Amino acid sequence: MRTSIDARANLDLIEENYRRWQQNPESVDSGWSAFFEGFELGNLPQRDGAAVAEAEAREAALQTRIDGLVYAYCMLGHTIARVDPLAETPPKNPLLSLSEFGFRESDLDLRVSSKFFLDNRQMTLREMIAGLERIYADSIGSEFMHIQDPRIREWVRRRLETRPHKHSTPREVQVALLRALLEAESFEIFLHTRYAGQKRFSLQGAESLMVILETILHRCPDGGVEEICMGMAHRGRLNVLANFLRKSLKVVFTEFSENYIPDLVAGNGDVKYHLGYHSVRRLASGAEIEIRLSGNPSHLEAVDPVVEGKARARQRIRGDTEHRRKVLPLLVHGDAAFIAQGIVAETLNLSQLHGYSTGGTVHIVVNNQIGFTTLPKDARSSQYATDVAKMIEAPIFHVNGDDPLAVKFVSDMAFDFRQQFGRDVVIDLYSYRRYGHNEGDEPSFTQPDLYAKIDKRPSVTQLYKRELLEAGTLSEDDAASLETEFALRLEMTRDEVNAIEKRKASEKAKFRESTAIFQPEYTSTSEPTAISEKTLKTVVDGLTRVPEGFEVQPKIKRIVLDHQRKVFEEGGPYEWHYAEALAFGSLLLEGIPVRLSGQDSSRGTFSTRHSVLYDAKTGRPYVPLMHLADKQARICIYNSPLSEAAVLGFDYGYSLDYPKMLCLWEAQFGDFANAAQTIIDQFIVSAESKWQQPSGIVLLLPHGYEGQGAEHSSARLERFLQACAEDNIQVCNLTTAAQYFHVLRRQMKREF
């Protein structure tokens, strides 16, 4: 190209080409390049400070725009990510356009770099944008810039940048992913054809959930996890039971039988997609991972705090109370419930609290983009169903469920994040629901356009199988062999169940849910609850003793320590709070641990308990009940957040897995217990009947007619009495401190 330089008529053109030449000499015509080289050479000795400053300013301005571009993709890349498998076109965001950062198409070949992207590696602007698109706006949309800790943000950013290209994934990994998908799909298709019309709340459309679960499971041994505590709703639950927890297919199919009667000691049982399970998965490496899936009611998300409490108890049982990495809480949510149910926010708020933390939870949102018949625009005011998790600064990874490799990548990252930081993390699995809310529902009544699109879409399993076949990773014979293997296993098991059905009732195989806890028949008798004078003195001595140098507040010394000593020496009378402390202390000396949690419980709402003393000068806490004797059990007394449902759910879950502990939840006033009514109705009073799961949880419901109005007077005892049936709960309306003392001790003395 011939360029007229002498005319100097177009100063803008000269400046533009000069800027481009400075960035990359090869980006301009050879004539321009020669001119600028001569210009630089001729002016080199005469370059003054102003010229240098101007050049540096231009470079700084460019770098600012480049860094701004990278920051924008970190912050907003998720808004244009291709995470929706049903979307026909990728979303757009003008804030991520070239012009927004002062660039034009002609700038795409500029040589650029940023210390915030790929370790400051030099590349063209075109290559940088392509890299940013792949990392932040492809099948994964990541939200992490709301996290205030720069160390955590940097960890997430660097992990995202390590995402491998598809062609670099080992063959055995890709085949394992296909196997998990085929197993899930085969199971659903089998149920759909052999048990047509029966409710099962299919996983179809979101089969990649199994990729997440299997990925996390196989990371557990190297990550130091020995046990997974799970909670999930009905969607895909049967698939998870059969293919993840390895519940016997014979049992699963038997539960579909019209003649099925569960082998229960007592009670009514529950529908098959509410049942819990406990299993041990033995991996190819030889490692064994324990998995516990909690039974849950139809009340969506109510199981969340229960699982957290169970996980906390399991951590204590495994001696992991410092780092809390050996037991992993894993919750599977639905998109509509995750954003709408208040107990989700309550449970999230427990995540970093001293008395309730479980070392981080992996949350999986099976986002089929519909709640029964309700679309997202009618279900939430936020952009995402997962926005509630930002309140605890959890990283959120939105991922396209039709991209199994991307799903595996975020699963690996979520697991590592939890193990690294001990914090919650969210995987938002974008998927769809192939059929209606249940198999008897017709979704096209309310979403005809959506279901016309879904009906035409191949499953993720078939899409991924095709991808592997086209890439030569898998042969047609290999694929057919896998499909035949799963289909044959399902058919043979069903034939076996059908044969059992034809036998006489006395010859039928009995199936028992492994979550059932069988216990002796109820009796009102118990071991003696009185204590010796020696034990009483030991407890009182401990309650009224403080370490040397600990300065008790004068009023506390007078009304608590001195008063307790005086009452003991005079032989009574013992007040309610004193009787409680004596009951706790005597149990501790017998090796029985105690956990008490509730609002303001350490001092007591009515300033009566004072279980924790504070140094008048330093504020240092001291718990007298922890210092009764050299050999005693541990007591934990926690002030809970201002929440009833999640805290009671947590303590109930704790009581299930640690029955040898006296576990108490205290309502601030008894009347406030109705804020946790779902936990009371669906778990505490009914779980033994539904799932054969008894609990020793104690609810303290302080109340009395003291002129404080209708909300502070009765604890609604009539409601609890209405809930009594088949010896499920005891309602104790105590009238003396002595009764309170003995009933607390009786709770741990009688047969559980």
What is the rounded average pLDDT of the residues 286-309? 96
* pLDDT surpasses 70 at 321: yes
Beta strands in 690-729 (DSSP E): 698-700
The model's pLDDT over 201-223, given as tens digits with 9 standing for 90+, comes to 899 999 999 999 999 999 999 99
Answer with the residue of higher pLDDT: 520 or 749.
749
CA distances from 602 to 171, 407, 598, 635, 649 (A): 57, 44, 8, 11, 19
* pLDDT surpasses 60 at 409: yes
Residues near 442 by beta carbon (within 8 Å), at least 6 away in sequence: 436
The model's pLDDT over 629-685, given as tens digits with 9 standing for 90+, comes to 999 999 999 999 999 999 999 999 999 999 999 999 999 988 999 999 999 999 999
Burial class of 57 by CB neighbour count within 10 A (0 to 12, 13 to 18, 19+): exposed
CA atoms within 13 A on the CB side of 265: 16
What is the rounded average pLDDT of the residues 597-609? 91
Please tell me the predicted confidence (pLDDT) of residue 30.
Answer: 63
Strand partners, 552: 615
CA atoms within 13 A on the CB side of 79: 12
Query: What is the rounded distance in angstroms from the CA atom of residue 73 to the CA atom of residue 699?
Result: 50
User: Smallest Cα–Cα separation from 460: which of 522, 390, 393, 403?
Assistant: 403
Q: Considering the chain, what is the average pLDDT of its residues?
A: 90
385 band by pLDDT with thresholds 50, 70 and 90: very high
Q: Is the distance from CB of 366 to CB of 206 less than 8 angstroms?
A: yes
723 band by pLDDT with thresholds 50, 70 and 90: very high
What is the rounded average pLDDT of the residues 595-618? 93
Please tell me the predicted confidence (pLDDT) of residue 31.
Answer: 59
Q: Dig out the tokens for 667 from the structure.
A: 């309502």
Q: Is the distance from CB of 361 to CB of 351 less than 8 angstroms?
A: yes
CA distances from 90 to 450, 553, 663 (A): 17, 66, 52
Please tell me the predicted confidence (pLDDT) of residue 26.
Answer: 75
The model's pLDDT over 61-117, given as tens digits with 9 standing for 90+, comes to 999 999 999 999 999 999 999 999 999 999 999 999 999 999 999 999 999 999 999
35 band by pLDDT with thresholds 50, 70 and 90: low
* pLDDT surpasses 80 at 566: yes
373 band by pLDDT with thresholds 50, 70 and 90: confident
12 band by pLDDT with thresholds 50, 70 and 90: low
| Predicted structure pTM score | 0.90
* pLDDT surpasses 90 at 282: yes
CATH 3.40.50.970 positions along the chain are 169-432+447-507
Fold held by 169-432+447-507 = Rossmann fold (3.40.50)
Percentage of the chain beyond pLDDT 70 is: 91
The model's pLDDT over 444-483, given as tens digits with 9 standing for 90+, comes to 899 888 888 999 999 999 999 999 999 999 999 999 999 9
**How many CB atoms are closer than 10 A to CB 384?**
22
What is the rounded average pLDDT of the residues 495-505? 75
Fold held by 533-749 = Rossmann fold (3.40.50)
Task: Find how far residue 689's CA is from the centre of its chain.
Answer: 28
524 band by pLDDT with thresholds 50, 70 and 90: confident
Is 512 in a helix, a strand, or coil? coil
Please tell me the predicted confidence (pLDDT) of residue 378.
Answer: 87
Residue 78 DSSP code: G
Q: Mean pLDDT: which of 232-236, 486-490, 587-591 is highest?
A: 587-591
* pLDDT surpasses 80 at 8: no
Query: What is the rounded distance in angstroms from the CA atom of residue 103 to the CA atom of residue 98?
Result: 5
The backbone torsions φ and ψ at residue 226, rounded to the nearest 5 degrees and listed phi first, read -105, -15
Q: Is the distance from CB of 460 to CB of 402 less than 8 angstroms?
A: yes
Residue 719 amino acid letter = R
Lowest-pLDDT range of 34-43, 253-262, 407-416, 612-621: 34-43
What is the rounded average pLDDT of the residues 385-389? 98
